[in-house]
Amino acid sequence: MIRFFKIAESTEENVTRFTTARSLRRRSIWFIKLRWIAAFGAVLLSIVAKHLLNLPLDLHKILAIVGLLALTNIVYFVFNRNVKPKSFRREETHIKTQMILDLLILTILMHFTGGVENPLFFIYFFHVIMASLMFKGKGVYQIAFLAILFFTFEVVFSTAFFPLLNHYHIFSHSDHMHDIRYVLLMLLMFWFVILATAFIAASFRKRYQKIKDELVKNQEQLIETDKSKTDFFRFASHELKSPIVTIQSAIDTVLDISDLSNQSKDLLYRARNRAEQTIETVRDLAELTRNEATTVIGADPIRIGEMIQNIVEQNREPIQQCGLDIHFVLPEKPIILRSFPGFLEKIFGNLISNAIRYSHDGGAITIRLVEKLTSVEFSISDEGIGISEDAQQMIFSEFYRAPEAKKHNRIGTGLGLAIVKQYVEKLGGTIQLKSQLGKGTTFKITLPTNV
């Protein structure tokens, strides 16, 4: 018995394990629920068999056995509720103890309901299958051999071999139940099927564990690669910002000199625009890495309609230059969103500036807000250049700009929508895109009303 419970210790931090102490506890809780169903089913089947099928069952003994099962189940429930899972070894020992007692109670129940005559002896197989969800291959075979041992003991000592126990007939008093050849054949079939079940279940478990190990290994590599990328972006944005700002300041100083030729001024203006574009890229890189590296704490109530109108007002100059019409579709009652204003300003600001930047002159932009039961839907539609189907698959990728966007406007970092998507997901929302090339684009964002 000591060897049966000898299980290698593990820690919760080992994420490559197929099972952990907490996952075993969750499965133990699930096992307790199944046990209640089994107890209710046993009582119901016994009553039906006794009164409808007229089988000679002793309901008092059956109810006593089911009561014992219910009592042990209450003990397991109280244990799970009051004792936190601390070690993998203790949890696995606890579950194995449950399964041993279950098999013992099942065997007693089988004895008083016909033993090998009872066609429900396949219930033993369920324990083997459930063991494969809890333990490694060795543990599965241990449960299978215990099931074989208990059931064989009941059959051997209540039928033809060593009739030390009374055999409770449920169908007839036929002599075949005392025929050694028949009983041995039934036992051999039971042994074969339960061992085959254990082999199949353990094989599936081993295969799934191998797949999970590979997935976890690949996930760790991806996390490490992503961390290296983030660290590089953070370093690059920090190191590049100061020299570029210095270059831009120097260009502005030179431009203040009045005796420059037009050609020189043109070159300097172009250099200044390039420097400004580079600063925008560095700023977006810093925003992107800050989003990935930080966790927000605390949310504020925000009048989301007012925030959007303020952002549109901040873009009034480019809107007027392009002759755009802005249409608001807002509910009469202000929508209060409990969220993070910095995130929301970046989300709405990027989407509104993109709609302005990629609209045709004289076009229209429609901004719509709809309040749902537990969420808010924000959508912005333009009549601009649109996005091709191929580009839509990549539009939220970092540094990606659609070909039509590059033709329409050379200025852009390819980071705006990546930042929008990250912030939306960090707030627990979703973002959808609908676009047709040459006819316009609609972005739709759904955000929870209370983060």
pLDDT 10s digits, 431-450: 999 999 888 999 999 999 88
- Mean pLDDT value across residues 330-344: 86
- Mean pLDDT value across residues 165-174: 69
- Mean pLDDT value across residues 121-129: 86
Residue 407 burial by Cβ neighbours in a 10 Å radius (0-12, 13-18, 19+): exposed
Query: Higher pLDDT residue, 224 or 100?
Result: 100
The residue behind tokens 């001024």 is 265
Residue by residue, what is the 3-state secondary structure of 354-404? HHHHCCCCCCEEEEEEEECCCEEEEEEEECCCCCCHHHHCCCCCCCCCCHH
* CATH 3.30.565.10 domain residues, the chain: 300-448
Residues recorded for the chain: 451
Whole-number Cα distances in Å, 323 to 79, 301, 428: 71, 34, 36
Coil, helix or strand for 30? Answer: helix
pLDDT of the residue at 355: 92
Query: Which of 7-11, 86-90, 135-139 is predicted with the least confidence, judged by mean pLDDT?
Result: 7-11
pLDDT of the residue at 287: 65
Closest CA to 167 of 113, 107, 105: 113
pLDDT of the residue at 237: 62
- Mean pLDDT value across residues 147-151: 91
Query: Higher pLDDT residue, 180 or 61?
Result: 61
Instruction: Quickly state the pLDDT bin for 71 (edges 50, 70, 90).
Output: very high
d(CA 66, CA 60): 10
Residue 4 has pLDDT above 50, yes or no: no
pLDDT of the residue at 241: 65
pLDDT of the residue at 1: 37
Please give the share of the chain, as a percent, with pLDDT higher than 70: 82
Coil, helix or strand for 261? Answer: coil
pLDDT of the residue at 239: 64
Residue 219 has pLDDT above 90, yes or no: no
| Fold of the 300-448 domain | Heat Shock Protein 90 (3.30.565)
- Mean pLDDT value across residues 35-56: 87
Instruction: Quickly state the pLDDT bin for 281 (edges 50, 70, 90).
Output: low
- Mean pLDDT value across residues 364-372: 92
- Mean pLDDT value across residues 29-33: 88
Query: Which of 4-8, 63-67, 304-308, 387-391 is predicted with the least confidence, judged by mean pLDDT?
Result: 4-8
pLDDT of the residue at 6: 42
At 369-414, the pLDDT tens digits run 999 888 999 999 999 899 988 888 888 887 788 888 888 776 666 7
At 301-331, the pLDDT tens digits run 889 899 999 999 988 888 998 899 999 998 8
Query: Higher pLDDT residue, 256 or 48?
Result: 48
Going by C-beta distance under 8 Å and a sequence separation of 6 or more, which residues neighbour residue 242? none
Closest CA to 353 of 303, 393, 400, 409: 409
Give the chain's mean pLDDT. 81
